Amino acid sequence: MEDACIRLWSEDTVPADEVGCCQCGLINHGSRMIWGEGNPQAPITILLDNPGARENKEGESFVCGTRTALQQGALQAGFHENDLYVTYVLKRRPVKKYDKEKTRAICMRHLQQQLDKHMPGLMICLGNVAVQAFFQSADVDVKGLRGQVYDVQGIKTVVGYHPLAVRRRPNMRKLFDEDWQFYRTIWAEKLGRNQV
């Protein structure tokens, strides 16, 4: 996939009543809240652990390695930007020590708000943090769940490796690409047709 196809996706606006949310304490880390990226009305939601350094910088002109890997996988599988919405378990990037379990539990209410507002037709959880948070179990992981479809909170859900893992360990790229082809197949079946 040519890098020319990889670009910044538009950032979703944080609801006015959530911008100053301080319940989880991540506001004290100095990072800004990122509600999501891509099409908020998309039929497919991608759940990641938290925004990265690129997302934390407003007006940044480059696409980070994590986002490049994610977009490459999606585009090669035949998805389009309009099909996808990327959001996070934590809406702020942690930059220092924090109580992970407690913070994730508190922050999941933001995701629930998003789901209540717009229930996706397919949820793609990438990485163990996203999988454990969405499945509400510390006993699950990507390796044990990938390649299957699950009903979680009434949403058709699939899991896969985090794009950052693929960037750090290129030998995982084949598995990552296989996962994206699997997502496309599942989505096509849901739509009842051969084309997404």
Q: Which of 50, 23, 21 is nearest to 37 (CA)?
A: 50
Q: pLDDT at position 54, please?
A: 60
Dist CA 193 CA 107 (whole Å): 36
Bridge-partner residues for 158, per DSSP? Answer: 124
Q: pLDDT at position 126, please?
A: 97
Contact criterion met (CB below 8 Å) for 142 and 128: yes
Residue 11 DSSP one-character state = B
Say which CATH class 3-191 falls into: alpha beta
Domain ranges, ordered by start, for the chain:
3-191
pTM of the entire predicted model: 0.89
Q: pLDDT at position 31, please?
A: 82
**66 contacts: CB under 8 Å, gap ≥ 6:** 48, 52, 54, 162, 163, 164, 167
Q: pLDDT at position 67, please?
A: 78
Q: Which of 104, 113, 119, 172 is nearest to 142 (CA)?
A: 172
| Successive 10-residue mean pLDDT values, the chain, 196 residues | 61 90 90 90 95 63 69 93 94 90 92 93 96 95 96 96 91 94 93 55
Residue 118 DSSP one-character state = S
Q: pLDDT at position 19, please?
A: 86
Contact criterion met (CB below 8 Å) for 21 and 101: no
Q: Reduce the DSSP state of residue 84 to 3 states and report it.
A: strand
Residue 163's alpha-carbon distances to 79, 102, 109, in angstroms, are 16, 25, 24
Q: Report, in angstroms and rounded to the nearest whole number, the Rg of the chain calculated over CA atoms.
A: 16
Q: Which of 148, 144, 168, 167 is nearest to 158 (CA)?
A: 148
